[in-house]
């Protein structure tokens, strides 16, 4: 089979199918070998002393990890990609790389909770000040910039409530003040939002989710522009945080089908979100691709698609009944599993807590249920959601 060479003219599914490795490098096998390595031998003492051999030790990469990193670079348009053992590690290592005691960090208030926890604990203990900002701030973020603001950490859409940020406007202001822009782009992936094209310097992706797609791997990806790649790589080397080749191989295998899986996730989730609008027991549907969702115009301007994750706000009635209604909804489900994470082949549901928010208030109508729409048939999922709504509506 001929190897496609002009990636700039190839469609996304063709790129996903072929990026990262050349079968001719491995005797024609279409998948790269899984190389398990700690020690790597040198041919002679001079080569060992120079440390210029391509592979020198397992923590610095193998053909397997390089294949995945190369594939992600092709998708992101990045100078380099760091592979780490989890999505959270993909958040914490860049922050440690670019912040030092006395620095100031700006973080969107709709951030993934473990990111907030890291900022409020370890970074605070290290002498880094964190300020949370409204996701709708846009260019107004300039009023929050300080002389020591070194990083602006974004996430768009926001966790659980899907607020859309004006990433180009925020990036322009951040760069004007010499700050690095980081973005957790796990929801959209580079298929639906190519973050580096919008002014982001470092883009973060929990490959545990859509990139893997099978709920059996923990892995994080961090991709950077040429200006910031060396700093990121140095931090990874100094911290000794690396991913094992088996997990990299599984994520690379999942990557090949991510385009067709995301397409199914997108259409099923958006169809369900539309069907749930106005449904008895649903006070609000939180999905940025819905025309009446706040921030939809920004989503439409910048994003190429939407994924399979959105939330519904149950009609909670008396606040004392919110938890009971949410539990009744969840316990009635037969197809949706009750579990954390998302992006796998199976549908999941979870009651989310928004008590950590400091700037933007959570929905006031009722409890928020996050739905991960998997690869099941949409009609079956709708029947299951209706089963849950009937149970919640029966709670008085």
Task: Walk along the chain (396 residues) and give the pLDDT tens digit of each residue.
Answer: 345 555 457 888 888 888 887 888 887 878 888 999 999 999 999 999 998 899 999 999 999 999 999 999 999 999 999 999 999 999 999 999 999 999 999 999 999 999 999 999 999 999 999 999 999 999 999 999 999 999 999 999 999 999 999 999 999 999 999 999 999 999 999 999 999 999 999 999 999 999 999 999 999 999 999 999 999 999 999 999 999 999 999 999 999 999 999 999 999 999 999 999 999 999 999 999 999 999 999 999 999 999 999 999 999 989 999 999 999 999 999 999 999 999 999 999 999 999 999 999 999 999 999 999 999 999 999 999 999 999 999 997
202, β-bridge pairs: 182, 224
What pLDDT was estimated at residue 8? Answer: 56
Q: Encoding tokens for residue 73? A: 């670079």
Distance CA 155, CA 135 (A): 9
What pLDDT was estimated at residue 7? Answer: 47
CA distances from 205 to 72, 89, 91 (A): 10, 10, 9
What pLDDT was estimated at residue 51? Answer: 83
Q: Is the dihedral of CA 165, 263, 205, 214 positive or negative?
A: positive
Distance CA 99, CA 71 (A): 28
Q: Is the dihedral of CA 367, 372, 373, 374 positive or negative?
A: negative
Burial class of residue 85 (count of CB atoms within 10 Å of its CB; 0-12, 13-18, 19+): middle
Find out whether 96 and 235 touch, Cβ atoms under 8 Å: yes
Find out whether 163 and 156 touch, Cβ atoms under 8 Å: yes
Burial class of residue 173 (count of CB atoms within 10 Å of its CB; 0-12, 13-18, 19+): buried
Domains and their CATH numbers in the chain: 12-255 (3.40.640.10), 258-393 (3.90.1150.10)
Alpha helices in 9-118 (DSSP H): 12-18, 45-50, 63-76, 87-98, 113-118
Find out whether 92 and 235 touch, Cβ atoms under 8 Å: no
Q: Encoding tokens for residue 270? A: 């958006």
Question: Residue 105: phi, psi to the nearest 5?
Answer: -125, 135
- Cα angle value 234/237/239 (rounded, 5°): 105
């Amino acid at each position: 089979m001929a190897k496609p060479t002009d990636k700039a003219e190839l469609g996304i599914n063709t790129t996903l199918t072929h990026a990262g490795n050349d079968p001719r490098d491995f005797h024609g096998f279409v998948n790269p070998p899984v190389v398990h390595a700690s020690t790597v031998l040198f041919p002679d003492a001079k080569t060992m002393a120079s440390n210029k051999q391509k592979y020198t030790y397992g923590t610095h990469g193998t053909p397997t990890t390089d294949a995945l990193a190369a594939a992600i670079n092709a998708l992101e348009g990045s100078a380099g990609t760091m592979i780490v053992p989890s999505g959270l590690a993909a958040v914490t290592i860049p922050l440690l790389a670019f912040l030092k005691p006395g620095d100031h960090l700006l973080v969107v208030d709709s951030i993934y909770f473990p990111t907030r926890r890291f900022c409020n604990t370890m970074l605070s203990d290290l002498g880094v000040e964190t300020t949370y900002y409204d996701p709708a701030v846009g260019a107004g973020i300039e009023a929050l910039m300080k002389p020591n603001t070194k990083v602006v950490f974004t996430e768009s859409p926001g966790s659980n409530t899907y607020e859309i940020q004006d990433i180009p406007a925020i990036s322009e202001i951040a760069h004007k003040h010499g700050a690095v822009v980081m973005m957790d782009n796990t929801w959209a992936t580079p298929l639906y939002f190519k973050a580096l094209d919008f002014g982001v310097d470092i883009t973060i992706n929990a490959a545990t989710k859509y990139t893997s797609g099978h709920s059996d791997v923990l892995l994080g990806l961090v991709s950077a522009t040429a200006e910031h790649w060396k700093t990121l790589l140095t931090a990874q080397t100094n911290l000794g945080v690396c991913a094992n080749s088996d997990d990299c191989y599984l994520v690379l295998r999942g990557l090949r089908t991510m385009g067709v899986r995301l397409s199914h996730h997108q259409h099923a989730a958006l169809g369900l979100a539309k069907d749930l609008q106005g449904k008895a027991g649903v006070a609000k549907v939180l999905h940025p691709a819905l025309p009446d969702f706040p921030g939809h115009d920004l989503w439409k301007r910048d994003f190429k698609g939407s994924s399979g994750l959105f939330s519904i706000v149950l009609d909670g009635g008396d606040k004392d009944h919110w938890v009971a209604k949410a539990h009744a909804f969840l316990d009635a489900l037969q197809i949706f599993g009750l579990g954390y994470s998302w992006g796998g082949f199976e549908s999941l549901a979870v009651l989310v807590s928004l008590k950590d928010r400091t700037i933007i208030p959570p929905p006031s109508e009722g409890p928020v249920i996050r739905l991960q729409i998997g690869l099941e048939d949409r009609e079956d999922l709708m029947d299951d959601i209706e089963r849950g709504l009937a149970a919640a509506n029966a709670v008085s």
